[in-house]
Amino acid sequence: MQRCGIGYDVHRFAEGRPLILGGVDVPHDRGLIGHSDADVLCHAIADAILGALGDQDIGFHFPPGDESIEGISSLEILRHVRRLTEAKSAWIHNIDSTIIAEAPKIMPYAEAMKHAIGEALGLDIHQIGIKATTNEMMGFIGRQEGISAMAVASVEVRDNGY
């Protein structure tokens, strides 16, 4: 059975933190703040896959109050989602995603992001779409207060009660 899921994440900028997107350190004057490395792209992808599986969201699997996972790499979150997918005898067909940010420029890093995400999820880079857009200077993203990301996952699951 073919299923799809959608994910969305947003984080605020903060001084003194690295900007990690798609598992890649992207040079910028600020990073994103969060309990993990605040990688909005990986978080949106994780939620999209979890949604396609009919599972609970990323906050259930990685509660923000759990001090043992503070600062965790979001690639580890994707590896966990991969294990959940495999445990359900499911497989990911493809991921499509969009990062929404006024700055920095994202596309110079998209290929490296595809490689990092592909390694974590066991996917070929051709199964991963990464696009970028701005918010046309509107809202909190337009004011460069943060970054958001959206993702869609297409997953095949065995018909065992899903």
Give pLDDT tens digits for 95-154: 999 999 999 999 999 999 999 999 999 999 999 999 999 999 999 999 999 999 999 999
| DSSP classification of residue 107 | G
Domain boundaries in the chain? 2-156
**Residue 45 confidence (pLDDT):** 98
Q: Alpha helices, DSSP H only, in 15-155?
A: 40-53, 58-61, 74-87, 110-121, 139-142
Backbone angles phi, psi at 70, to 5 degrees: -60, 130
| DSSP classification of residue 35 | S
**Residue 160 confidence (pLDDT):** 59
Give the residue-averaged pLDDT of 56-78: 93
Percent of the residues in the chain that have a pLDDT greater than 70, as a whole number? 98
Residue 157 has pLDDT above 60, yes or no: yes
Q: Does domain 2-156 have CATH number 3.30.1330.50?
A: yes
Helices 74-87 and 40-53: crossing angle, nearest 10°? 10
Cβ atoms within 10 Å, residue 107? 11
Terminal-to-terminal C-alpha distance of the chain:
9
Give the residue-averaged pLDDT of 45-69: 94
Query: How far is Cα 74 from Cα 159, in angstroms, rounded to an integer?
Result: 30
The answer to pTM > 0.85 is: yes
**Residue 161 confidence (pLDDT):** 54
Give the residue-averaged pLDDT of 58-76: 93
Residue owning tokens 């779409």: 129
